[in-house]
Structure 1
Amino acid sequence: MTDKITVTGFVATQPVVKKVTGDLLITSFRIASNQRRFDKGRDRWIDGETNWFTITAFRHLAANVSASVVKGDRVVVHGRLRVRDWEAADNKKGTNVEIEADALGHDLSWGTTAFTRVSLSTGSANGDGSAVPGEDTADVFPDDVDDDATIHSDPLWGAPGVVGVSVGAGAGAAEDGDEKIPF
């Protein structure tokens, strides 16, 4: 049986996206979640222990997370909890606490956000949720995205809701090593 968990916290690492086996996208990042409580004796707020989680999102959620979430954002994550012990070759031991996200979004207790609906068939966004004319699923996952590609949103080069892929030199990038391909 898989345990479900909902966690709030701040994004502690920039989300990283990888493309594996065909068109499967995986986005992962770390969040820090700590509880604050009011200490009446001291008449002030104090921080509790910080819990660290690795968040992993798949497929369309992975693409949407990479276009929407950046380091420092406050988020709410709901998903399946996985706790795994590990041991390295040098006898170091530890425990990974991972949440495989089913749903993820900004924590509106800390600010506001704008929502842009994305067509699941094309992965495109044009404000009204319909597909952008001329786009199909072949355009959504470019063939030259490799395991080292980082997918991100960049308002300086793309329209709102457009995601881009920075492709490393090994995947046919421009001479400057940072070709941006519309996604």
Structure 2
Amino acid sequence: MNKVTLMGRLVRDPELRYTTVNNVPVCSFTLAVDKYVKQGEEKQADFIPCIAWQKLAETISNYLEKGRRIVIHGRIQTRSWDDNEGKKHWVTEVVADEMHFADDKKKGDNQSQYQGQPQSGDNPPWMNSDEDLDLPF
């Protein structure tokens, strides 16, 4: 089963784009997720690339900013693409299906939550056709 839950802070503001063929919203963002360290050791983090599609992509783009702590639920995906020079690139990322606020933007408490609605039954655009999505991220 491919299921992922991450809690972390956005490294930078989310980037919203639209696919060139069907104008489907896609948002890319990176989460800094704390690693477990022994007491007294310096904090460390993993930087996890994530994407979201459709309504969740627009919600993330509209309501989140650098430094905001969130929880996402989704799945790991590996994909590849060829750049303009014909060089193949690979990326492993988390495709978010749900998002929850993990802190309040102004107060820093854990009271505020938003659950994005997974598009159950709706496949991401790359699973529905063979068209080029032009997603070099």
* TM-score interval, smaller chain: 0.5 to 0.7
CA-CA distance at 1:115 after TM superposition: 6.1
| Aligned residue among 106, 109, 112 for 1:111 | 109
- Name 1:172's counterpart in structure 2: none
Q: SS at 1:47's partner residue?
A: coil
Higher relative contact order (CA 8 A, sep 6+): 2
Structure 1: how far apart are the matches of 2:28 and 2:101? 16
Question: Residue 79 and residue 107 in structure 1: after superposition, are their counterparts in 2 closer, same or farther (change >3 A)?
Answer: same
Q: Does 1:33 align with 2:33?
A: yes
Unaligned 5+ residue runs, structure 2? Answer: 117-133
TM-score (ref. length: structure 2): 0.62
CA distance in 2, matches of 1:102, 1:117: 9
Deviation at 1:105? 2.1
* SS of match in other structure, 2:35: strand
Q: CA deviation at 1:117?
A: 9.5
| Same amino acid, percent of matched pairs | 23
Structure of larger gyration radius: 1
What TM-score, normalized to structure 1?
0.48
- Opposite residue 43 of structure 2, the aligned amino acid is D
Tell me the amino acid that sits aligned with residue 102 of structure 1: D
> Equivalent residue of 1:111, what SS?
coil
Alpha-carbon distance between aligned partners in 2 of 1:86 and 1:27, rounded to the nearest angstrom: 17
Which whole-Å CA distance do the structure 2 matches of 1:97 and 1:35 have between them? 19
Deviation at 1:38, TM superposition (A): 4.9
Q: Name 2:123's counterpart in structure 1.
A: none
Aligned-partner residue type, residue 28 of structure 1: S
State the superposition RMSD in angstroms.
3.5
SS at match of 2:57: helix
CA contact (8 A) 1:52 1:97 kept: no
- Counterparts of 1:23 and 1:94, CA distance in 2: 23
Tell me if 1:47 matches 2:43.
Answer: yes
1:16 lines up with 2:12 in the alignment: no
Cα separation, 2, equivalents of 1:58 and 1:68: 15
